[in-house]
Structure 1
């Protein structure tokens, strides 16, 4: 399986990249990034690209992939809706419209978030924009597309958020995560589980196209890494 990854330098993307590189069934990973990941691996290739609203300059390099894991995203905290829309919706659709043209046979998996508003009319700005993005992706003629809605994500294996405040929060909450997982499993997940769930979906599909946190945890448990 050949994987295309967006958002490889973010916390979720780092986790997905780690699982892809560990999976013997993943032949190669192309990470589309604004800045280098710093990772070195025989299966990993990176293409540096600045304008995430226009991929025409690199679209020839995006053809022939089996799956796209779209993990690019930002916090809506303190952002105006127009700016958040440009980063969340416009960038995602620019990538998807390019990919559906050059790699229509791929499975596209978008990392959204728990609480996303599919009606696009709810109170929370970020949830409306995420809902609009999901709905647009679900209408696109990929081989298959899935929307992943993780809840609270605990980083594992040395993975860190790029946001200082989040790093402090994760460090404080980390010791309590096993308790949270026992008490409220449908609301919490790890970076490792997100990556494994996405690989499971890319390989075998899923019985629903919008995958809530509990679905992702179940898919991660079903994941079995192929023998190398």
Structure 2
């Protein structure tokens, strides 16, 4: 299986890449993003590009699955700018994957609260909902993950300093958090394994919450 990962340098992307590299049935992992990572593995190939809206020069031939983990906080960002990153870049990537393999699996990391009606008052939720709807309307075997709290595992770290501090604090409390809110928490490890499970076997649901994708793999 050939896998393409967008956002491999982010916290979730780091966890997803790790699980892909550990999977025996994944032959190659292609990372596409603006920043280089520090991953060194024979199965890993990296494409660094300044323009995430143009993939005409990137070879996606033979791709079986695309795991889209790229995202940005909506705090202090205009709707136009947030939409460019969240919707435009995602759909540009989806179009490139469709051109390479119209039936490929495409797994998109969204978030709890995304607005499928696209009519709510919350800007980020409307844009996320519009992105989900557009993806699900393509020929791709598209799935949307709407995680709640995500605990980083195996060295995965957030690029935001404040979040890194928060995760170090919550790490101690995570077992209790998981016990109290089992349907609303997950880890970078589980998300990576769930994505691989969707690529291998699919799922009845196209929009999956933490409880749904946590159940895909142990």
Q: RMSD in angstroms over aligned alpha carbons? A: 0.9
CA offsets, 1:75-107, max 9 Å, x none? Answer: 111211111001000100111112111221311
Preserved CA contact (<8 Å) 1:194 1:220: no
Q: Whole-Å Cα distance in 1 between the matches of residues 217 and 182 of structure 2?
A: 13
Equivalent residue number for residue 80 of structure 2: 82
TM-score by length of 1: 0.93
Q: 1:4-153 to 2 correspondence within 5 Å?
A: 4-58=4-58, 61-142=59-140, 144-153=141-150
Q: Name structure 1 gaps, 5 residues minimum.
A: 222-228
Q: Return the alpha-carbon distance in structure 1 between the equivalents of residues 115 and 174 of structure 2.
A: 27
Q: What is the SS of the residue equivalent to 2:215?
A: helix
Match of 1:167 in 2: 164
1:15-47 CA distances to partner (integer Å, 9 max, x unpaired)? 000000011111110111212111100110111
Question: Given that residues 145 and 208 in structure 2 are in contact (C-alpha distance below 8 angstroms), is that contact kept between their aligned partners in structure 1?
Answer: yes
In structure 2, the gaps of 5 or more residues are none
Taking the aligned partners of 2:161 and 2:169, their CA distance within structure 1 comes to 13
Taking the aligned partners of 2:144 and 2:20, their CA distance within structure 1 comes to 19
Contact 2:15 2:189 in 1 (8 A): yes
Output the CA distance in 1 between the equivalents of 2:123 and 2:169. Answer: 28
State the shift of 1:207 in Å. 1.2
Q: Aligned to 1:41, what secondary structure does the other structure show? A: coil
Pick which of 120-129 and 130-139 moved more: 120-129
Task: Note if contact 1:115-1:127 (Cα within 8 Å) is conserved in structure 2.
Answer: yes
- Structure 1 CA distance for aligned equivalents of residues 77 and 61 of structure 2: 34
Report the 3-state secondary structure (helix = DSSP H, G, I; strand = E; otherwise coil) of the residue aligned with 1:207.
coil
- Which 4+ residue blocks in structure 1 deviate beyond 6 angstroms? none
CA contact (8 A) 1:117 1:130 kept: yes
Task: Measure the CA separation in 2 of the matches of 1:220 and 1:174.
Answer: 22
**Quick check: 2:33–2:52 contact (8 Å CA) kept in 1?**
no
Aligned position for 1:225? none
Q: Is the 8 A contact 1:20 1:195 kept in 2?
A: yes
Check the 8 A contact 1:84/1:126 in 2, yes or no. yes
What is the Cα deviation at residue 57 of structure 1? 2.5
Equivalent in the alignment of 2:153: 156
